Structure 1
Amino acid sequence: WLRARPLYLGRALLLLSVTLILVAPAIVQWKSEFRLFYTPIYDWFQYIPLQVGETVHANILAGALIQLSAIALALALPPVQNKVKAVHQAQRQSPDAADEPHRQRFLRIKVHRVDRLQRWVAGIVAVFLMTLLILTQSRGAYLALAVVLLVLFMLRWPRLRLLLPLLVLATAIAVYGYGPAATFELLGSDNTFGGANWRTSVWHAAGQAIHDFPYTGIGIGNFRTVLPTLYPHPALEMDSANHAHNLAMQLSLDLGLPGLLAYYLFVVTLIWRAIQRLRQRTFVPAPQPIAPNGNTRQRQKAIVRMARRHTENWALTAGALAAVVGIQVHGLLDAVTWGTKLAFLPWLCFALIQLSAPPRAETATPDGDYGESAP
């Protein structure tokens, strides 16, 4: 059922985004030290009367906001296609097909009020999500958001890829000028533990555990129990040392290197599937023979409906792909998308790629309904 309606999952994620926007000020542990900036809004959050039993760390919220922002932004961007070519078997065989009026060979994809409303709502939600993400002051999330925006804009406007070498060069020059060590200190520091040296100490201990238990790992949820015992270090005694602060390392600790390999084979397969889907930017209907008593207008409406669905699926795939890339970038400095309260979100992004990239090609049936045929 959901395979035929992947947009419903996208709308459910938008609804979840609105819920997070409303409850986040009251349930999030906002950072109080080592801030990049200060604003009075943090003090205002303290006066919210809502009391809940559990709270969520700002870094965990940031990991979720990266994914939700990607989906919302993808749904808010202009559609990739606003007209579709109505190709029929008779038109291809007719020598006078080139002389037909332009309006008969191209059908405009009508934008309904629901589509406009959805785009506006998604845009507003995306703005609030990114504002909330900025307030988390998660350095890794900032980096991931920049990559998400870059991926989405290059997918929607492919000519922007020409600027990618200049952007990479400018980034390299900026890092070199600021200093690699200073850049890592800026990105790796956090309010929960201070400087980036703490993070490297945790990585060193995690690397030792991976070396000692390469095939089985230490077991899911055993970081706090095993590492301080086998590899004692002051950094591991802190309350914030509850995971490896690196997604690949955390997967290796929980599942072993075979589990890490299986996870990334799964992710790479989904990314490749999404790229294959996104290459089909425009919907081209299969040629259909025109019966003597065929309802051409009804068939044209069916083609337009399929083109609208193709555009929606393209946007969902682009958003899910950007979200998956953002997860991996954020995973360089944190592991909050695995084993936390909001760790189910990446799997919904994986599901979006699978749902919005159907394995069979769609065609229009003469009665104006959707049909599917093998490629």
Structure 2
Amino acid sequence: MTSRSHHRSHKKTIWTRLAWFEPFWLLFMAPSILLPGRFWEAWLQPYLVMALFLFWPIRRLAYRQVSVATPLNGWIAMLAAWLPITLWISILPEQSWVAVGYLGLGIAAFFALINWPTARQRPYLLAWLLLAIGFGLSLLGPALMDISAGSRMFRIPQLDARLGLLSAALGEAVNPNVFAGALVLISPFGAALALEPRWTRQWIWPLGAGLLSLFALLSLVITQSRGAYVAVIIGLLVLVVLRWRRLVWALPFVIIGVGVFAYRLGPAAILDQLSSDTSLAGLSGRMEIWTRAGWAIQDFSLTGVGHGLFNPVVSTLYPFFVLPTDIPHAHNLLLQVGVDMGLVGVTAYLGLILTVFYIVGKTLRRAAQHRQQAEDRAQAERHVLTWTLAAGVTAAMTSMLVHGLVDAVTWGTKLTFIPWLFYTLAALLYLGPRRRIRKRRRSRAERGIDDSEMNALMIADVHEVPMVETAE
């Protein structure tokens, strides 16, 4: 009996150690998913997408469950379950598999990280990963951008000469709006860590986060995306109100001032300018796109037209009168999800977003209460960090939704995985770090489990007994 228990615990330790490498497996697979056809033949794309989930059975063997439970799991499962339908309906499966790969990478990253013991115990590591991604985009993005077409607010010859220098050499170009869609998430998030520095005793970390946020903001200006400008301003306003609650009383005056300003300039003129960017000029162009997207959702309400097929389907079935035929997406986040996946996909995605706001709201309230009840400075700093990260996620999600009113660059693009990292951080903060020590009827000596094996079991299972900051 003792040898059998010893054998089972040894097998569990092996699977647990193997499951720990899942995030690194996704990191290895990411280039093949984000650059389809660059490293492998195009016909291998479906197999590469399915390989993202290779560690799921390993995780089941290691933790005795596929995933820890979170409030987001149901909506994500609904979204993932509908993907085969969008592939079945697709008239261009090769193109749909590319778009599904972008979404699949985000889903796989979510479940890999919320089940990763290191991320569960240290969610701030994910925060620094997001800031590192933002720094990389801010550094390399302008050299990969092509803003030669469309409406532009300003021209700086010295700057224009440096834009897109790497795109020809690498064979990859970043649309400025896609670039802006990522930065509207990163910039408010970094600002949150800078505006509330009490989460650490070392001033260098808030300063570094603030500088990274400022760098992202400067890079955002280069994109000349008006919608992104408005989105990041609103996200920062939300962050400031969360940080200094008394400023909420100033919001009515701000709203009145903005209303008077808009009335004097003319609402139509303002909307027309805000709807312009480097790929599409004016509100009228977007209205034409939104109308076609609505028709597509009406005609394909259950299934959608197929993942990633807005351009070939919409431009063929609902031709544009004024715009060119190479419009890549619906220029509205929810409309784009509806065109791709029908009303089922919109319901799942909207439920996911609303649940993210719900859990970060609960995390904010819980962290604020625990900070007041902290017994020592270290404990208070931990609760302040939780609050700060949750506030950053709230501001980032707000910016994404505002930008999503006039663009859809966080869905079906190479940077689709970035919002999923924010969903992951929201879930990690809500769950809190946990470890499991199961109550056993027999002692470890009776079961033949030594101290090293017991430690392995404790590290392996981080799913049940709360330590701090757990959900109510």
The residue number in structure 2 matching 1:74 is 192
The answer to whether the 8 A contact 2:189-2:392 is kept is yes
The residue number in structure 2 matching 1:254 is 340
Q: Per-residue CA shift, 1:30-59, capped at 9, x if unaligned?
A: 355521122244234149578322010111
For structure 1, which runs of at least 5 residues remain unmatched after alignment? 82-110, 288-299, 363-369
Call closer, same or farther: CA 1:227–1:258 in 2, change over 3 Å. Answer: same
Q: CA deviation at 1:345?
A: 0.7
User: 3-state DSSP class of the match of 1:59?
Assistant: helix
Q: CA deviation at 1:198?
A: 1.5
Give the alignment partner of residue 356 of structure 1, picking from 429, 445, 458.
Answer: 429
The residue number in structure 2 matching 1:182 is 269
Residue 150 (structure 1) aligned with residue 237 (structure 2): yes
The residue number in structure 2 matching 1:328 is 401
Q: Identity of aligned pairs, percent? A: 39
Call closer, same or farther: CA 1:190–1:22 in 2, change over 3 Å. Answer: closer
Aligned equivalents of 2:137, 2:244: Cα separation in 1: 30
Aligned equivalents of 2:258, 2:398: Cα separation in 1: 19
Aligned equivalents of 2:149, 2:274: Cα separation in 1: 17
The residue number in structure 2 matching 1:95 is none
Q: CA deviation at 1:310?
A: 1.3
The residue number in structure 2 matching 1:17 is 134
User: 3-state DSSP class of the match of 1:29?
Assistant: coil
The residue number in structure 2 matching 1:38 is 155
Call closer, same or farther: CA 1:251–1:128 in 2, change over 3 Å. Answer: same
Mean Cα deviation higher: 62-71 or 175-184: 175-184
Aligned equivalents of 1:34, 1:271: Cα separation in 2: 34
Call closer, same or farther: CA 1:284–1:313 in 2, change over 3 Å. Answer: closer
Call closer, same or farther: CA 1:132–1:284 in 2, change over 3 Å. Answer: closer
Aligned equivalents of 1:273, 1:209: Cα separation in 2: 33
User: 3-state DSSP class of the match of 1:149?
Assistant: helix
Residue 338 (structure 1) aligned with residue 422 (structure 2): no
Call closer, same or farther: CA 1:282–1:38 in 2, change over 3 Å. Answer: farther
Aligned equivalents of 1:80, 1:273: Cα separation in 2: 23
The answer to whether the 8 A contact 1:219-1:253 is kept is yes
The residue number in structure 2 matching 1:314 is 387
Paired letter, 2:262: V
Paired letter, 2:144: I
User: 3-state DSSP class of the match of 1:245?
Assistant: coil
Call closer, same or farther: CA 1:255–1:139 in 2, change over 3 Å. Answer: same
Call closer, same or farther: CA 1:178–1:47 in 2, change over 3 Å. Answer: closer
Q: CA deviation at 1:284?
A: 4.6
The answer to whether the 8 A contact 1:207-1:249 is kept is yes
The answer to whether the 8 A contact 1:206-1:253 is kept is yes
Residue 138 (structure 1) aligned with residue 255 (structure 2): no
The residue number in structure 1 matching 2:352 is 266
Higher helix share: 2
Mean Cα deviation higher: 60-69 or 304-313: 304-313
Aligned equivalents of 1:154, 1:36: Cα separation in 2: 30
The residue number in structure 2 matching 1:123 is 210
**CA-atom RMSD in angstroms:** 2.5
Q: Per-residue CA shift, 1:179-200, capped at 9, x if unaligned?
A: 1211111111233233322211
User: 3-state DSSP class of the match of 1:45?
Assistant: coil
The residue number in structure 1 matching 2:42 is none
The residue number in structure 2 matching 1:112 is 201
The residue number in structure 2 matching 1:64 is 182
Mean Cα deviation higher: 346-355 or 185-194: 185-194
- Scaled by the length of structure 1, what TM-score is found? 0.80
Aligned equivalents of 1:132, 1:47: Cα separation in 2: 13
The residue number in structure 1 matching 2:63 is none
Q: CA deviation at 1:75?
A: 1.1
The residue number in structure 1 matching 2:58 is none
Q: Per-residue CA shift, 1:111-155, capped at 9, x if unaligned?
A: 433xx2111111111111101111111011011011111010001
Aligned equivalents of 1:23, 1:339: Cα separation in 2: 21
Aligned equivalents of 1:128, 1:11: Cα separation in 2: 15
- Scaled by the length of structure 2, what TM-score is found? 0.64
Residue 167 (structure 1) aligned with residue 284 (structure 2): no
Aligned equivalents of 2:263, 2:164: Cα separation in 1: 43
Paired letter, 2:398: V
The answer to whether the 8 A contact 1:76-1:123 is kept is yes
Paired letter, 2:120: R
Q: CA deviation at 1:361?
A: 9.8
For structure 2, which runs of at least 5 residues remain unmatched after alignment? 1-116, 436-465
The answer to whether the 8 A contact 1:361-1:374 is kept is no
The answer to whether the 8 A contact 1:227-1:236 is kept is no
Question: Number of residue pairs matched?
Answer: 322
Aligned equivalents of 2:164, 2:404: Cα separation in 1: 33
Aligned equivalents of 2:471, 2:205: Cα separation in 1: 32
User: 3-state DSSP class of the match of 1:30?
Assistant: coil
